[in-house]
Structure 1
Amino acid sequence: PQKAQALEAWLAQVSSLQMTTIHFESPNRIQRTLAFLSERTPDTPLALCREMTKKFQTVWRGTAQLILEQNQEWRGEMVLVIGAVKRCLEAPDLDSLYQQQRDSGLSHNQAIKTLAQRFSLSKKQIQNQLTTASTSVTPETEPFE
């Protein structure tokens, strides 16, 4: 993705998959993408592959910051392999965002649909996250035995 908001939505979608993902990236944008990943998911393992299946194939492995420190002039076909993104993302506080949508006059379904579009997730994923958040027991609310 080229714009910041699209990058945020893309990362939210990738992190919701909880599996390794493969992306083709332009050598012109790889520096910015790595910087973005370094800032948002500093511990996520990556592999950056250049010119795969060719004579000058190169693979860099590590975190986004380690790969950025290679200070390369990025050229050629770039493939970015992102390990399962840990939930170290600053996850949006869906409960408060949902409540803001409801307070602004949207129905339950409209609020879910709006949040799903905003974070590039399915309505079911948003609903599940809201349900999980509302039914989880925190240490402060656990019953005493």
Structure 2
Amino acid sequence: MGQGAASREIDEVRAGVLYICGTPIGNLGDASRRLIETLRAVDVIAAEDTRVARKLLSALGVEGKALVSFHEHNKWKRIPEILSMLKRGKSVALVTDAGMPAISDPGWELVKATLDEGLKVTVVPGPSASVSALVVSGIRPCPFTFVGFLPRDRKERREALARIARRSETLVIYEAPHRVEDCLEDILDILGERRMALVRELTKKFEEVRRGKVSEILSSVRKDPPKGEITLVVEGVATEEETTPSNLEGILPRLREAYEELTREGIPPNKVLSLLARLTGVRKRQLYKLLKVGKD
């Protein structure tokens, strides 16, 4: 997607425009010159937490800005007010506590409402924990599905995982440190054993990436509970083209045993293959080939 060096200087902030601004996720050095100049120039800054925003603005040398709160609990009240500002020619910057607004943070409803009114929306790109975790994980980054935060309720979380269990794309999940162990237990149970990475405190002093199988990461979390912002990058189900005897070698003997035992009990081979396919995420036709190869 890159097109080489930037071809023009930073644009001037325009009246009546909503600026979606990405802010650092832990390292102030990631604040771009364009972000700083945009925050200095806009008339109003809408912030997820005005206290956090004031600290950021002070650290960036941006002073005297009008701040309004915009968060999950007041967004429906604030959207008409911000639209009114834009219609009066005010320029507004939207920021969250860290990263890109509208990605697991308030914002997309405001973007949609602004566009629905025929007003201009533009972006000042910045760091994103999801993409940063993805590229450092060592797991195939494309294609990927951004899941965001799973439901807090365990039943709902397991249902959400079941809906994505057969996806072949890499999964990117946000989780709180006090729920990560339960989340990993459900991932292991519903998605099964696969490669993953637990990424925490990206760009900060205690940045850490734990890589391994789900069971290995779960064991490490039990021994050494992680703190801070956590992103889980989980390998998707292998496609038929990617599924080979070599990367199923560890479970193939157990699959053969299960197949033989169930068929001996009188269950039709076709139904056994369907069951094993659901449990492993391997296509039925490919599973048949693998089991047949194992018998030769």
Shorter-normalised TM range: 0.5 to 0.7
Give the drift of 1:10: 1.4
TM-score, normalised by the number of residues in structure 1 = 0.54
**Secondary structure in structure 2 of the residue aligned to 1:38:** helix
Does structure 2 retain, via aligned residues, the 8 Å contact 1:23–1:79? yes
Does structure 1 retain, via aligned residues, the 8 Å contact 2:158–2:186? no
Does structure 1 retain, via aligned residues, the 8 Å contact 2:162–2:191? no
* Distance of aligned partners of 1:86 and 1:4 in 2 relative to their CA distance in 1, 3 Å threshold: farther
- The equivalences for 1:1-145 within 5 A come to 1-70=151-220, 71-85=223-237
Query: Which amino acid is the alignment partner of residue 207 of structure 2?
Result: Q
**Secondary structure in structure 2 of the residue aligned to 1:67:** helix
Structure 2 gaps of 5+ residues are 1-150, 240-284, 289-296
> Which 4+ residue blocks in structure 1 deviate beyond 4 angstroms?
none
Residues in 2 aligned to 1:51 and 1:38: alpha-carbon distance in whole angstroms? 23
Does structure 2 retain, via aligned residues, the 8 Å contact 1:25–1:79? yes
Query: Which amino acid is the alignment partner of residue 59 of structure 1?
Result: V
Residues in 2 aligned to 1:83 and 1:51: alpha-carbon distance in whole angstroms? 21
Residues in 1 aligned to 2:181 and 2:235: alpha-carbon distance in whole angstroms? 18
Does structure 2 retain, via aligned residues, the 8 Å contact 1:42–1:63? no
Query: Which amino acid is the alignment partner of residue 11 of structure 1?
Result: L
Residues in 2 aligned to 1:65 and 1:86: alpha-carbon distance in whole angstroms? 18
TM-score, normalised by the number of residues in structure 2 = 0.28
Query: Higher helix proportion, which one?
Result: 1
Query: Which amino acid is the alignment partner of residue 34 of structure 1?
Result: L
Structure 1 gaps of 5+ residues are 88-135, 140-145
Aligned to 1:127: none
Residues in 2 aligned to 1:86 and 1:37: alpha-carbon distance in whole angstroms? 16
Aligned to 1:95: none
Does structure 2 retain, via aligned residues, the 8 Å contact 1:48–1:61? yes
Query: Which amino acid is the alignment partner of residue 68 of structure 1?
Result: L
Query: Which amino acid is the alignment partner of residue 159 of structure 2?
Result: A
Query: Which amino acid is the alignment partner of residue 190 of structure 2?
Result: R
Does structure 1 retain, via aligned residues, the 8 Å contact 2:170–2:236? yes
Q: State the Cα RMSD in Å.
A: 2.3
Does structure 1 retain, via aligned residues, the 8 Å contact 2:165–2:237? yes
Deviations 1:88-135 (A, max 9, x none): xxxxxxxxxxxxxxxxxxxxxxxxxxxxxxxxxxxxxxxxxxxxxxxx
* Distance of aligned partners of 1:15 and 1:86 in 2 relative to their CA distance in 1, 3 Å threshold: farther
* Distance of aligned partners of 1:84 and 1:28 in 2 relative to their CA distance in 1, 3 Å threshold: same
Between 1 and 2, higher relative CO (CA 8 Å, sep ≥ 6) is seen in: 1
**Secondary structure in structure 2 of the residue aligned to 1:55:** coil
* Distance of aligned partners of 1:40 and 1:11 in 2 relative to their CA distance in 1, 3 Å threshold: same
**Secondary structure in structure 1 of the residue aligned to 2:164:** helix
